[in-house]
Amino acid sequence: MPDYDTARERFSWQEARAELAGLPGGGLNIAHEAVDRHAAGPGADVVALRFLGKRGEVREITYAELKRETDRFANVLQTLGVERGERVFALSGRVPELYVAALGTLKHGSVFSPLFSAFGPEPIEQRLRLGDARVLVTTPALYRRKVAQLRERLPGLAHVLLVGEEAEIADIPGVEDFRRLMGLADDSYEIVATAAEDMALLHFTSGTTGMPKGATHVHEAVVAHRATGRIVLDLHPEDVFWCTADPGWVTGTSYGIIAPLTLGVTAVVDEAEFDADRWYGILQDQGVTVWYTAPTALRMLMRIGAEVAHEYDLSALRFIASVGEPLNPEVVVWGEEAFGMAVHDNWWQTETGGIMIANYRAMEVRPGSMGRPLPGIEAAVARRDAEGGPALRGDGGLELTESPEEPGELVLRPGWPSMFRGYLGEEERYRRCFAGGWYLTGDLVRRDAEGYFWFVGRGDDVIKAAGHLIGPFEVESTLLEHAAVAEAAVIGMPDQVAGESVKAFVALKPGHEPDEELRRELLGFARRKLGPAVAPREIEFVAGVPRNRSGKIMRRLLKARELGLPEGDVSTLEGGS
Which residues contribute to the site for ligand AMP (CB under 6 A)? 205, 250, 323-327, 345-347, 349-350, 370, 441, 443, 455, 458, 464, 469
Strand stretches in 257-386, DSSP E: 266-270, 290-293, 319-322, 343-347, 357-358, 372-373, 379-382
Q: Which is nearer to ligand AMP, 323 or 488 (CB)?
A: 323
- Collect all residues with Cβ–Cβ distance below 8 Å to 236 and sequence separation of at least 6: 263, 265
Q: Helix (H, G, I), strand (E, B), or coil: what is residue 224? A: helix
Q: Which is nearer to ligand AMP, 20 or 466 (CB)?
A: 466
| Rounded Cα distance, 421 and 430, in Å | 9
| Nearest distance in Å: CB 326, ligand AMP | 4
| Nearest distance in Å: CB 21, ligand AMP | 28
Beta bridge partners of 379: 412
| Rounded Cα distance, 409 and 398, in Å | 11
Instruction: Report angle CA 10, 12, 14 to the nearest 5 degrees.
Output: 140
| Rounded Cα distance, 529 and 479, in Å | 9
| Nearest distance in Å: CB 40, ligand AMP | 33
Q: What stretch of H or E contains 39?
A: helix 37-39
Q: Which is nearer to ligand AMP, 177 or 461 (CB)?
A: 461
Phi-psi region at 442: left, alpha or beta (left = phi > 0; alpha = psi -120 to 50): left
Cβ contact 497:297 at 8 Å:
no
- Collect all residues with Cβ–Cβ distance below 8 Å to 127 and sequence separation of at least 6: 89, 113, 115, 119, 133, 204, 212, 214
Beta bridge partners of 507: 487
Which strands, in side-by-side order, build the sheet including 499-508?
Answer: 485-495, 499-508, 538-541
| Nearest distance in Å: CB 51, ligand AMP | 24
Q: What is the 3-state secondary structure (H, E, C) of 111-168?
A: EEEEECCCCCHHHHHHHHHHCCEEEEEECHHHHHHHHHHHHHHCCCCCEEEECCCHHH
Q: Which is nearer to ligand AMP, 133 or 357 (CB)?
A: 357
| Nearest distance in Å: CB 192, ligand AMP | 28
| Nearest distance in Å: CB 38, ligand AMP | 28
Q: Helix (H, G, I), strand (E, B), or coil: what is residue 272? A: coil
Q: Which is nearer to ligand AMP, 194 or 328 (CB)?
A: 328
| Nearest distance in Å: CB 442, ligand AMP | 6
Dihedral sign of CA atoms 387, 390, 394, 399 in order: positive
Cβ contact 329:295 at 8 Å:
no
Q: Which is nearer to ligand AMP, 189 or 455 (CB)?
A: 455
| Rounded Cα distance, 272 and 484, in Å | 37
| Nearest distance in Å: CB 445, ligand AMP | 9
| Nearest distance in Å: CB 258, ligand AMP | 15
Phi, psi of 142 (to 5 degrees): -65, -35
Q: Which is nearer to ligand AMP, 264 or 417 (CB)?
A: 417
Q: Which is nearer to ligand AMP, 224 or 469 (CB)?
A: 469
Q: Which residues of 266-293 are buried (b: 16+ CB within 10 A; e: fewer)?
A: bbbbbbeeeeeeebbebbbebbbbbbbb
| Nearest distance in Å: CB 190, ligand AMP | 34
| Nearest distance in Å: CB 352, ligand AMP | 8
| Nearest distance in Å: CB 89, ligand AMP | 18
Q: Which is nearer to ligand AMP, 109 or 324 (CB)?
A: 324
Cβ contact 374:356 at 8 Å:
yes
| Rounded Cα distance, 125 and 292, in Å | 30
| Nearest distance in Å: CB 248, ligand AMP | 11
Q: What stretch of H or E contains 308?
A: helix 306-310
Pure H helices in 374-421: none
Q: Which is nearer to ligand AMP, 338 or 355 (CB)?
A: 355
Radius of gyration of the chain from its Cα atoms, rounded to whole angstroms: 24
Q: Which amino acid is at 128?
A: L
